[in-house]
Structure 1
Amino acid sequence: MPIISSTFKAKGLFKSGHFSTIYSAKLRPIPKVIQERKRLELSDGDFIDIDWSFSEKKDTKVAILLHGLEGDAQRVYIKGQAKMLVENGWDVAAMNHRGCSGEENRLYLSYNSGRTEDLEELIDHVIQYHKYDTICLIGFSLGGNVILKYLGERNHVPQQIKNGVAISTPLYLRGALEQLVKPENMVYSKTFINDLRKKYKRKMNQFPDAMNSEELKKIQNLLDFDTLYTAKAHGFQDAYDYYEKSSSLQYLPNIKIPVLILNAANDSFLSPECYPFDIAKHHKNIYLESPKHGGHVGFHVTNKVYYSEKRTLQFINK
């Protein structure tokens, strides 16, 4: 019955989910960690860029980090986690999803909440060309959904993968969408859709036969974007088909290695389905921790160290 009673206690203004979310994304000083970019050419002719950080301890452990929607491997939460890991003997491979590394990807398709093929190719590359005997998967928000789906949709995963951590993860995508369109979350949904509209416009220049300005005008919210681009580009019938097939919640019972799901109770991005207490109660590998505070990727302790960073290290080292 691995439901964890969290020790995290937010202080002052950080008890507010919105304050901790916004502060952590926009105001936290960016932790200093060295990153070395290497490009991975993919089997379909596209590419992803990986930002590597290396520990001085020359160990045989690597953590693969996945960022959230329209993020990248330079986001403060990625660098904070990477710094904590490299200082404690872990190398880090922070993956930029297709089109998120500052250069547009080559193909019409991109990334989405359930696309695990790129993660699989990165894992295969790490196993083939590096000498790691221990791999941990760590995902934030959308990236958390990707790693949980990857671990649950396959009958077997490489033996080098020992555990995983999913932080502030929308396990049920339709519910998360319905949360984001609520008035209290307007500032977040507006930010996301503005970024996605810009991405659509840039991609429209690459693929004028598949994308056009009339469709761009119709994209006013996240559901529109997933209807007019995500579903069409990635082979789904519509946005709701995408949400149903890509949600990691349905794959949790199949996970065969220990995973920690760290979702704050006051994360305004998450619907009730994103807190799978019933599954965790009956599954030896699903560890669910739901502290009262923390917002969305906002588990502030100090500017230098977040609870999620310490908790992740503790979980993967045990």
Structure 2
Amino acid sequence: MDATWQVADFRPPPGLSNRHVQTLLPRCLPRPSVAADTEILELPDGDFVELAWSHPCPERADAPILVLFHGLEGSLDSPYARHLLHTAGGLGWRALLMHFRGCGASPNRLPRAYHSGDTADAYWLIGQLAHRYPRALRVAAGISLGGNMLVKLVAEQGGEGLALDAAIVVSAPLDLSACADTLRHGFARVYERHLLGSLKRKMIPRLASGELPLSLTPRDLEALSSLRDYDEAVTAPLHGFADAEDYYRRASAGPLLGQIELPMLILHADDDPFMPPALFQHFPAPPPSVRVEVARHGGHVGFVEWRQGRLGSWLARRVGQQLQAWQATMSALHSTPGSVSHKKSAGG
């Protein structure tokens, strides 16, 4: 590994290193209670997303901001969301989660959903945060699907085109086609069935009402047996892609890693059951502003460690460390009017 690629310092507890154990453990352990207010953010196309603002909020208008983008069918109730928002809030950050369209309490209005390459809503939200809190340090974190989306957004918009100072990406499926194939094998089928079932439950009433421009019946939807089948029949035609493979090719962010200009921390586990082995070997080398930390173990958004006599989230601890480091190095520069050059040089 060169200087940009590092071995993560995550160590699983003895006997709990298995990839599936690590993936499932966060759902079995206590998670922090997070009080949140909901805001309906109107979007330029007439749709909306639901924001969850963690409480208590800092009183200072220039308090740093962490905006979190969840994974496929995730929400404020996802274990990682609770841990990361709680960690950020404990450090004095203004923390919020953006629910992708239809992932909050209410279905979205337009005949569409969300997908791994859909960056427009996140771009709009970040711009709104910059308008509301112009002097605040702004950091985004993307988990799984949200991580792929965030890499794509940062790479496409560039260091000067996005009102963001830094980003954190966790367990991102940066090669969507390869990841869809990986989920077809072995115990990973359990995860695929869970995600597919959640997608179907939300889509069936919308199909039955006739609001979606799809030549698909609820019975056809029920018969789909894989995420690739779902993307072929629903995601692709609903969002303007020719087919599932066209969607995977155009939405995968891995090939864009070399174009990132912001400081970025990427956390990944080599044993992630959602990913093919050696995922990053197939992508361009990222620039020095990007730090990729790869752990031998950790599963998919797992990273559960033994610390201070109990099981806890190494992921939340590592993200907290990074937030503190960036706050220390960037805040003074960010508060200086017109100063943006630090984005390319602050490092991951």
- 2:11 maps to 9
Task: Give the letter aligned to residue 183 of structure 1.
Answer: G
Task: Provide the C-alpha distance between the structure 2 equivalents of 1:57 and 1:105, rounded to a whole number of angstroms.
Answer: 31
Task: Provide the C-alpha distance between the structure 2 equivalents of 1:209 and 1:46, rounded to a whole number of angstroms.
Answer: 15
Q: 2:261 aligns with which of 256, 273, 279?
A: 256
- 1:136 maps to 139
Q: Secondary structure at the match of 2:35?
A: coil
Task: Give the letter aligned to residue 251 of structure 1.
Answer: L
Say yes or no: does 1:287 pair with 2:291: yes
What's the CA shift string for 1:19-60, capped at 9, x where partnerless? 111121x21212122211111011111110000124447352
What's the CA shift string for 1:46-83, capped at 9, x where partnerless? 11000012444735210110110011122111010011
Greater relative contact order (Cα < 8 A, sep 6+): 1
Structure 1 residue 277: deviation in Å? 8.2
Q: Secondary structure at the match of 1:8?
A: coil
Q: What does 1:176-255 align with in structure 2 at a 5 Å threshold?
A: 176-208=179-211, 210-211=213-214, 212-255=217-260
Q: How high is the TM-score relative to the length of structure 1? A: 0.93
- 2:336 maps to none
Task: Give the letter aligned to residue 230 of structure 1.
Answer: T
Say yes or no: does 1:163 pair with 2:166: yes
Structure 1 residue 210: deviation in Å? 2.5
- 1:145 maps to 148
Task: Give the letter aligned to residue 30 of structure 2.
Answer: P
Q: What does 1:72-151 align with in structure 2 at a 5 Å threshold?
A: 72-151=75-154
Task: Provide the C-alpha distance between the structure 2 equivalents of 1:221 and 1:209, rounded to a whole number of angstroms.
Answer: 21
- 1:35 maps to 36
Task: Give the letter aligned to residue 152 of structure 2.
Answer: K
Structure 1 residue 220: deviation in Å? 1.8
* Paired positions, count: 316
Report if the CA contact (8 A) 2:159-2:262 is conserved: no
Task: Provide the C-alpha distance between the structure 2 equivalents of 1:244 and 1:71, rounded to a whole number of angstroms.
Answer: 23
- 2:315 maps to 308
- 1:174 maps to 177
Task: Provide the C-alpha distance between the structure 2 equivalents of 1:238 and 1:129, rounded to a whole number of angstroms.
Answer: 39
Report the CA distance shift for 1:34/1:199 in structure 2 as closer, same or farther (over 3 A): same
Task: Give the letter aligned to residue 103 of structure 1.
Answer: S
Q: How high is the TM-score relative to the length of structure 2? A: 0.85
Say yes or no: does 1:268 pair with 2:269: no
Report the CA distance shift for 1:97/1:269 in structure 2 as closer, same or farther (over 3 A): same
Task: Give the letter aligned to residue 101 of structure 1.
Answer: G
- 2:337 maps to none
Structure 1 unpaired stretches of 5+: none
Task: Give the letter aligned to residue 19 of structure 2.
Answer: G
Task: Give the letter aligned to residue 12 of structure 2.
Answer: A
- 1:19 maps to 21
What's the CA shift string for 1:146-185, capped at 9, x where partnerless? 1100000124545642111111111110111011111221
Task: Provide the C-alpha distance between the structure 2 equivalents of 1:208 and 1:256, rounded to a whole number of angstroms.
Answer: 40
Structure 1 residue 194: deviation in Å? 1.0
Report if the CA contact (8 A) 1:55-1:88 is conserved: no
Report the CA distance shift for 1:301/1:225 in structure 2 as closer, same or farther (over 3 A): same
Identity of aligned residues (%): 29
Q: In terms of Rg, which structure is larger?
A: 2
Q: Secondary structure at the match of 1:290?
A: strand
Report if the CA contact (8 A) 2:255-2:283 is conserved: no
Task: Provide the C-alpha distance between the structure 2 equivalents of 1:95 and 1:135, rounded to a whole number of angstroms.
Answer: 14
Instruction: Name the Cα RMSD after superposition.
Output: 2.0
Task: Give the letter aligned to residue 118 of structure 2.
Answer: R
Task: Provide the C-alpha distance between the structure 1 equivalents of 2:163 and 2:314, rounded to a whole number of angstroms.
Answer: 26
Task: Provide the C-alpha distance between the structure 1 equivalents of 2:151 and 2:279, rounded to a whole number of angstroms.
Answer: 12
Task: Give the letter aligned to residue 244 of structure 1.
Answer: R
Q: Secondary structure at the match of 2:15?
A: helix
What's the CA shift string for 1:110-161, capped at 9, x where partnerless? 1100000010111111112234421101011001001100000124545642
Structure 2 unpaired stretches of 5+: 326-348
Task: Provide the C-alpha distance between the structure 1 equivalents of 2:257 and 2:283, rounded to a whole number of angstroms.
Answer: 11
Task: Provide the C-alpha distance between the structure 2 equivalents of 1:245 and 1:214, rounded to a whole number of angstroms.
Answer: 29
